[in-house]
Chain A
Amino acid sequence: MSGKLPEAEVIKRESNYLRGTILEGLADRTTGALPEDDTKLTKFHGSYQQDHREVRDERRRQKLEPLYQFMVRLRLPGGVLTTDQWLGLDKIADECADSTLRLTTRQTFQFHGVFKEQMQPFMQKIHALGLDSRGACGDVNRNVISNVNPHQSQLHGEIHELSLAISERLRWRSAAYAEIWLGEECVQKLGEEEEPFYGYKYLPRKFKIALAVPPENDCDVFANDIGLIAIVEDDQIRGFNVVVGGGMGLTYGDPATYPRLATMAGYVAKEQIVDACEAICAIQRDFGDRTNRAHARFKYTIDDYGMDWFQERFEEYQGHAFAKPRSFSLSHNGDRFGWVEGEDGNQHLTLLIPTGRVADTESGLLRTALRKIAEVHNGSFRITCNQNLVIANVLPEKRAAVDAIVEEYKLDAGTRSSPLRQNSMACVALPTCGLAMAEAERFLPEFVTRVERTMAEEGLEPDAINLRITGCPNGCARPYLGEIALTGKAPGKYNLYLGADFSGQRMNRLYRENIDTDTILDELRPLFRAYQQEREAQERFGDFLVRVGIVEQERTPAMLHQPLQ
């Protein structure tokens, strides 16, 4: 390693285990913002400082600072919460945030519009619900995601237990969290003992772990730094095929950055899987590039050093090598909607939540409806990796009551919408995300409508196509795994990517660059026409584009940066 360390790396190291001057900043009532350095640290605590971008210029003219507010993300391994926790969070949305709950692609909640003076009350309230926000953002292990698997109760129980165990093992430990948010006294500074695993440098960059149960790949297991693919025998999880070095983000114009699918490393028995995750994370902690944040993700460490090197390090850190991977088969990365019965007789209802936004709006009282369900139902909720929601473990005798609410509030509208809409996903983007260059969440509904119309005009039956939109190239909605994907370039302008498969095992490539909606549809129309005329039975759109040679089979980093000629 050489060269000057990036600012974020220095701030983290000098933060006294993530304390910085956050407490002093929170006490300053003259500004809604925290000092800039501290905003790097609050990420580790689960929160991003943002501002309402649509009033930024208006407020500048009014000689007011930007309308600063915070996004807070929870740590919720596997996306599972109780009905009481749901009701508590629903209330907090009114008391401390913008009265909406946002389900995310990492199976958790984001709260938006939390003003600075509400931050401590907010954190105390989620703490009272047995929840926290440690490591929901920042250079540490992020929320561990796993398959929601509604029909196999036993497997889901196991996979959820494991996601909790991994999350707990890799949770950062500093007392800063309790001191800053929960009002606990700083008893003593423990130095290195504050973070036995991470140490004062934490990780070079964010780190993501996902657990899949084949044939479902709803968690996009290959898009994670560590992907664990369950190997099930006799309805029992025996162990996992471990894939490493996946990640979505790229930086426009920097071909040294690229999304990457995780590479197969080998098999690990269930009993060793938590240790194995820690060992892999430790390798990244010790070898990841801390001199360049655009090159600090684990995927670059793997590419820089090679898989052989990684296998050696793993053996060294874990004490034994990977076993040979077992065979597996993944069929899709979306959710299946509607009721299913689990093997224990409990019922599960998967609902489509449009772009994950739980809100009461003119078009429907979604938040009210889900609150009512939480009041009548005493099972649990599961957030899916596609920003949807499972009403889980409904006792057979409660199903009618849930159905009545579903009907009253038309909660199954999403389930009855087109397969295209059901397989679409967008990140938050404008107006709060500071990174967004174009709309995503607010643009998706109308864009899907226009794609549906174009498909219909080309004689295509409504068909499931995996469609993803993000406001920037960083990858929150895992755009590079969309059969059709848009990433924002400028207001109203997107890059168009095509050619991923339907199961999260092949990335798309850049097809056209920086085009508006009309042009996007003009580009898609002839492809739809060809697809309608030449597709094979059951052939997916992305696979079709590859088979007929419109998009290549192989991917190189350059393909994500250079539009197809």
Chain B
Amino acid sequence: MTTDLNSSPLSADQQARLAELLDGISEGQLYWLAGFLAGKCSGGTASSTAQTAVSASASTPSAPELTVLFGSQTGNAEELAQQLAARASDKGISAKLVDMAGYKPKQLKNEQYLAVLASTHGEGDPPDNALDLYEFLHGKKAPKLERLRYSVLSLGDSSYEHFCKTGQDFDRKLAALGATALAERVDCDVDYEDLAEGWINRVLETIANEAGASQPAAARSVTAELTPTSAFSRKNPYSAVILTNQLLSGRGSDKEVRHIELSLEDSGLVYKPGDAVGVYPENNPALVNELLNTLGFDGEQRVSADERDVPLREALAFYREITLLTPPLMKQWAELLNDDDLKALVADSTELRAWTEGRDLLDLIQARPIAWLTPQDLVNLLRKLPARLYSISSSQAAVEDEVHITVAAVRYSSYGRDREGVASAWLSDRMNEGDQVRVYIDPNKKFALPDDSKPVIMIGPGTGVAPFRAFLQEREEREAEGENWLFFGDRRFRSDFLYQSEWLKWRRDGLLTRLDVAFSRDQAEKRYVQHCLKENGSEVWAWLQRGASLYVCGDAEKMAPDVHQALLDIASEQGGLNPEQAEDYLRQLNRDKRYQRDVY
């Protein structure tokens, strides 16, 4: 690398040392350094955290005050909230960034401007850290908020029935309490960046215009980054080489779970235990072919997809979702087709869900063809192919420039056709060692290890065990003294015990204090992790009394509620709490970040 430092303000000695540092530096390292220095310039220190309230210190008394509240499960809402808060100061707005979990609801009536960013999970559930505020607003103690000016950004996934429900609920409730919207609510799908960007601009413009505040409040334009940045991001994914693609499921398993190791060499990407990797998959080329054949389209025809001029086949393979029928798509389809039956179906969300379940675009095209549809129309109608998130199953402290994920192939049959999960089947069937996968790191601040001295109880059946491999790798490297207890479950002991030999080794070494397992198909009556938890109720309670943190990862629909109930039962039976107190106890654990869930 050639460097011209002569014109710099550095001393000769500094120049020499910088030149030495830059000599032979990789592109990835350079990007990291750039991000790191930018963070330094902003006045932050390397250790400053994004949880810190970012307030414009030099704001004038007349500066409008904006509180940015986020309710986030995986960190996307938090990340956007940070952006909003940071950019507010450019506009002369005094912004305060607050996690909903740490927000005193009574403060609401004193707020001037409020921005709410909330994600939605499972069956329309608020994220864990939003629960208190959500219940307060929907309860009897909710105050009148006539003075308040607010706007809501909701994050969700349109393939779920209760798309963006939490954000919608916040919006509706704030309005009902008398608050007025300063910008219309925006509901973002999995490809949220552009919509979120627009919303942030509108919110800030409106506040700035209303307040007449135009001068920048302070020379503070960039938030201190929590972690050094990489050149690569969600919008600019890194092409990671697959180092290992190993089937974990043993003979006789009816599952197909893979351990995949990716190289992050020179990417500058960093992650922490608990974070996820976003993977941009490719749709099954056979399905793309069937679509093209059914529509009679030429796959080579050029179309425009997200400002790219690409052949239709490529657009369908890489850039558009073709395996899920989202409500917005169905609505547009019904309108385009002007079909009364379809319109009626779309109007009834229960019916619509029943119809779209197990069907994909090919089914829709076959059932309700639109004769005049052009290739470009099709591309415009479909949402972007979103990245699929996988909990990371490695610790960078142990594997350095690799990242490991644990992928269960999703396969099923419906309406007479075999179907598959886009990313899982792609990784299982068509991606081999040496191939490249486009990835980015999706941080998850809501699923992080406590202090090294604290005990942790990890509950991770199936692929839900992935982050706990990362936890133990991390704790092994750090020589953390805290005790570790893993609950694992799956179908069969002999074929489905993911990472068995690693857990057993860690137990022998003393790192894993306890290991308890439940295999549902190995005996007549089904046995799951929650049974295992309850059988060990007194010990679990004793660990909690010693300050243990609980982590739950995996299935949101059945496992997480069942485990939650088991924990409530333990609190009742072992702690003598009544049902309400038991709920409060878990709620408090959650607020104290001692009950964290990564469920999906």
Tell whether, in the assembled complex, residue B250 and residue A62 are in contact, meaning their CB atoms are under 8 Å apart.
Answer: yes
Complex: chain B residue closest to A29, CB-CB = B517
Tell whether, in the assembled complex, residue B515 and residue A62 are in contact, meaning their CB atoms are under 8 Å apart.
Answer: no
Does A30 interact with chain B (Cβ within 8 Å)? yes
Does B160 interact with chain A (Cβ within 8 Å)? no
In chain A, positions 300-333 with a C-beta closer than 8 Å to chain B are none
Question: With A29-B493, A32-B494, A62-B246 in contact, is A55–B501 under 8 Å at CB?
Answer: no
Tell whether, in the assembled complex, residue A55 and residue B251 are in contact, meaning their CB atoms are under 8 Å apart.
Answer: yes
Tell whether, in the assembled complex, residue B499 and residue A30 are in contact, meaning their CB atoms are under 8 Å apart.
Answer: no
The docked-state distance in angstroms from the alpha carbon of A65 to that of B246 is 15
Does A539 interact with chain B (Cβ within 8 Å)? no
Tell whether, in the assembled complex, residue B494 and residue A67 are in contact, meaning their CB atoms are under 8 Å apart.
Answer: yes
Does A153 interact with chain B (Cβ within 8 Å)? no
Q: Which residues of the other chain, B, contact A29 by a CB distance below 8 angstroms?
A: 493, 517, 519
Does A453 interact with chain B (Cβ within 8 Å)? no
Max count, chain B CB within 10 A of own CB: residue among A30, A31, A55: A30
CB of B481 to closest CB in A, whole Å: 23
Tell whether, in the assembled complex, residue A30 and residue B517 are in contact, meaning their CB atoms are under 8 Å apart.
Answer: yes
Tell whether, in the assembled complex, residue A62 and residue B249 are in contact, meaning their CB atoms are under 8 Å apart.
Answer: yes
CB of B333 to closest CB in A, whole Å: 44
Contact residue among B249, B259, B498, B503 (Cβ-Cβ distance under 8 Å from A30):
B503
The docked-state distance in angstroms from the alpha carbon of A472 to that of B517 is 38
**Count of chain A residues with a beta carbon within 8 Å of a chain B beta carbon:** 16
Does B588 interact with chain A (Cβ within 8 Å)? no
CB of B442 to closest CB in A, whole Å: 25
Q: Which residues of the other chain, A, contact B249 by a CB distance below 8 angstroms?
A: 62
Q: Which residues of the other chain, B, contact A117 by a CB distance below 8 angstroms?
A: 522
Contact residue among B251, B259, B504, B522 (Cβ-Cβ distance under 8 Å from A31):
B504
Q: Which residues of the other chain, A, contact B519 by a CB distance below 8 angstroms?
A: 29
Chain A interface, DSSP helix/strand/loop, else mixed: loop
Does A450 interact with chain B (Cβ within 8 Å)? no
Does A63 interact with chain B (Cβ within 8 Å)? yes
Does B500 interact with chain A (Cβ within 8 Å)? yes
Does B12 interact with chain A (Cβ within 8 Å)? no
Q: Which residues of the other chain, A, contact B522 by a CB distance below 8 angstroms?
A: 117
The docked-state distance in angstroms from the alpha carbon of A438 to that of B259 is 33
Q: Which residues of the other chain, B, contact A64 by a CB distance below 8 angstroms?
A: 248, 250, 494-495, 497, 500-501
Max count, chain A CB within 10 A of own CB: residue among B248, B499, B501, B519: B501
Does B502 interact with chain A (Cβ within 8 Å)? yes
The docked-state distance in angstroms from the alpha carbon of A468 to that of B274 is 60
Does A59 interact with chain B (Cβ within 8 Å)? yes
Max count, chain B CB within 10 A of own CB: residue among A55, A60, A64, A67: A64
Does A61 interact with chain B (Cβ within 8 Å)? yes
Q: Which residues of the other chain, A, contact B502 by a CB distance below 8 angstroms?
A: 63
Does B247 interact with chain A (Cβ within 8 Å)? yes
Q: Which residues of the other chain, B, contact A58 by a CB distance below 8 angstroms?
A: 250-251
What sequence of 0s and 1s flags, for each residue 51-81 of chain A, a beta carbon within 8 Å of any chain B beta carbon? 0000100111111110100000000000000
Max count, chain B CB within 10 A of own CB: residue among A31, A32, A59, A117: A31
The docked-state distance in angstroms from the alpha carbon of A66 to that of B248 is 13
Question: With A29-B493, A32-B493, A117-B522 in contact, is A65–B517 under 8 Å at CB?
Answer: no
Tell whether, in the assembled complex, residue A62 and residue B248 are in contact, meaning their CB atoms are under 8 Å apart.
Answer: yes
The docked-state distance in angstroms from the alpha carbon of A29 to that of B488 is 11
Q: Which residues of the other chain, A, contact B497 by a CB distance below 8 angstroms?
A: 30, 64
The docked-state distance in angstroms from the alpha carbon of A262 to that of B375 is 91
CB of B312 to closest CB in A, whole Å: 40
Complex: chain A residue closest to B532, CB-CB = A29
The docked-state distance in angstroms from the alpha carbon of A90 to that of B195 is 70
Q: Which residues of the other chain, B, contact A62 by a CB distance below 8 angstroms?
A: 246-250
Tell whether, in the assembled complex, residue A30 and residue B515 are in contact, meaning their CB atoms are under 8 Å apart.
Answer: yes
The docked-state distance in angstroms from the alpha carbon of A117 to that of B517 is 14
Question: With A30-B503, A31-B504, A117-B522 in contact, is A61–B494 under 8 Å at CB?
Answer: no
The docked-state distance in angstroms from the alpha carbon of A61 to that of B248 is 8
Complex: chain A residue closest to B514, CB-CB = A30
In chain B, positions 93-152 with a C-beta closer than 8 Å to chain A are none
The docked-state distance in angstroms from the alpha carbon of A332 to that of B338 is 95
CB of B458 to closest CB in A, whole Å: 14
In chain B, positions 479-524 with a C-beta closer than 8 Å to chain A are 493-495, 497-504, 507, 515-517, 519, 522
CB of B438 to closest CB in A, whole Å: 26
Tell whether, in the assembled complex, residue B504 and residue A65 are in contact, meaning their CB atoms are under 8 Å apart.
Answer: yes
Tell whether, in the assembled complex, residue A63 and residue B251 are in contact, meaning their CB atoms are under 8 Å apart.
Answer: no
Q: Which residues of the other chain, A, contact B250 by a CB distance below 8 angstroms?
A: 55, 58-59, 62, 64, 67
Complex: chain A residue closest to B250, CB-CB = A64
The docked-state distance in angstroms from the alpha carbon of A60 to that of B504 is 13
The docked-state distance in angstroms from the alpha carbon of A65 to that of B503 is 10
Max count, chain A CB within 10 A of own CB: residue among B493, B504, B517: B493
Contact residue among A32, A61, A63, A67 (Cβ-Cβ distance under 8 Å from B499):
A63
The docked-state distance in angstroms from the alpha carbon of A58 to that of B519 is 22
Contact residue among B251, B498, B500, B516 (Cβ-Cβ distance under 8 Å from A65):
B500
Q: Which residues of the other chain, A, contact B504 by a CB distance below 8 angstroms?
A: 30-31, 65
The docked-state distance in angstroms from the alpha carbon of A64 to that of B252 is 13
Q: Which residues of the other chain, B, contact A60 by a CB distance below 8 angstroms?
A: 501
Q: Which residues of the other chain, A, contact B248 by a CB distance below 8 angstroms?
A: 62-64
Complex: chain B residue closest to A28, CB-CB = B515
The docked-state distance in angstroms from the alpha carbon of A440 to that of B447 is 55
Q: Which residues of the other chain, B, contact A65 by a CB distance below 8 angstroms?
A: 500-501, 504
Complex: chain B residue closest to A55, CB-CB = B251
Complex: chain A residue closest to B495, CB-CB = A64
Complex: chain B residue closest to A69, CB-CB = B494
The docked-state distance in angstroms from the alpha carbon of A23 to that of B493 is 19
The docked-state distance in angstroms from the alpha carbon of A64 to that of B503 is 10
The docked-state distance in angstroms from the alpha carbon of A64 to that of B505 is 11
CB of A117 to closest CB in B, whole Å: 7
Tell whether, in the assembled complex, residue B501 and residue A63 are in contact, meaning their CB atoms are under 8 Å apart.
Answer: yes
Contact residue among B246, B251, B503, B516 (Cβ-Cβ distance under 8 Å from A61):
B246
CB of B513 to closest CB in A, whole Å: 13
The docked-state distance in angstroms from the alpha carbon of A31 to that of B497 is 10
The docked-state distance in angstroms from the alpha carbon of A61 to that of B499 is 10
What sequence of 0s and 1s flags, for each residue 21-37 of chain A, a beta carbon within 8 Å of any chain B beta carbon? 00000000111100000
CB of B468 to closest CB in A, whole Å: 14
The docked-state distance in angstroms from the alpha carbon of A64 to that of B502 is 8
CB of A119 to closest CB in B, whole Å: 14
The docked-state distance in angstroms from the alpha carbon of A30 to that of B495 is 12
Q: Which residues of the other chain, B, contact A63 by a CB distance below 8 angstroms?
A: 246, 248, 259, 498-502
CB of A37 to closest CB in B, whole Å: 14
What sequence of 0s and 1s flags, for each residue 565-595 of chain B, a beta carbon within 8 Å of any chain A beta carbon? 0000000000000000000000000000000
Max count, chain B CB within 10 A of own CB: residue among A29, A55, A67, A115: A29
The docked-state distance in angstroms from the alpha carbon of A29 to that of B532 is 11
The docked-state distance in angstroms from the alpha carbon of A293 to that of B246 is 42
Q: Which residues of the other chain, A, contact B516 by a CB distance below 8 angstroms?
A: 30
Q: Which residues of the other chain, B, contact A31 by a CB distance below 8 angstroms?
A: 500, 504
The docked-state distance in angstroms from the alpha carbon of A65 to that of B494 is 9
The docked-state distance in angstroms from the alpha carbon of A32 to that of B494 is 8
CB of B510 to closest CB in A, whole Å: 15
Seed contacts A64-B495, A65-B501; 19 additional CB < 8 Å A-B pairs:
A29-B517, A29-B519, A30-B497, A30-B500, A30-B504, A31-B504, A58-B250, A62-B246, A62-B249, A63-B259, A63-B498, A63-B501, A63-B502, A64-B248, A64-B494, A64-B497, A65-B500, A67-B494, A115-B494
A-B contact pairs, 26 of them (CB 8 A): A29-B517, A29-B519, A30-B497, A30-B504, A30-B507, A30-B515, A30-B517, A31-B500, A31-B504, A59-B250, A60-B501, A61-B246, A62-B250, A63-B246, A63-B248, A63-B498, A63-B499, A63-B500, A63-B501, A63-B502, A64-B494, A64-B497, A64-B500, A65-B501, A67-B494, A117-B522
Please list the residues of chain B having a beta carbon within 8 angstroms of any beta carbon in chain A. Answer: 246-251, 259, 493-495, 497-504, 507, 515-517, 519, 522
The 8 closest A-B pairs by CB, nearest first: A30-B515, A63-B499, A63-B501, A64-B500, A64-B250, A65-B501, A62-B248, A30-B517
